[in-house]
Amino acid sequence: MKNILIILNDPPYGTERNYNGLRLAKALSNEDSHVIVFLLADAVACAKRGQKVPQGFYNMELMLKSIIRNGEVLACGTCMDARGLTDDDILQGAERSTMPVLSAHTLSADKVLVF
């Protein structure tokens, strides 16, 4: 089994970088791999609970929930604090995390992808 770390940096909407990163994460989670998505900077807002988007538009919260079923979603706690997000603000199954945890996952990953 391959360990794959995907690091997202951009805000949830306005660009498609995170959307494409999560599409890849979902595809990889269906293979023989363990996927960890780490949210940094503005990407922590991807894990915001209760997102409402226009009909037909992708929803980051739903995409992350599908990743959580077979993998992990971690959000930088410092980045969350800087953006006023609390643990109660993020979706169930996503976890507040730290740079030392990201460092450990980076060292143990077979592949690291950054979006």
Closest CA to 9 of 97, 79, 72: 79
74 contacts 37 by C-beta, under 8 angstroms: yes
3-state class of 33 per DSSP? strand
Tens of pLDDT along the chain (115 residues) come to 999 999 999 999 999 999 999 999 999 998 889 999 999 999 999 999 999 999 989 999 999 999 999 999 999 999 999 999 999 999 999 999 999 999 999 999 999 999 9
Q: Within 10 Å of residue 6's Cβ, how many Cβ atoms?
A: 24
Write down the pLDDT at residue 26. 94
3-state class of 64 per DSSP? helix
What proportions of the chain, in percent to the nearest 5, are helix, strand and coil?
45, 25, 30
Write down the pLDDT at residue 31. 84
Prediction pTM value: 0.96
Q: Which domains does the chain have, with CATH numbers?
A: 2-114 (3.40.1260.10)
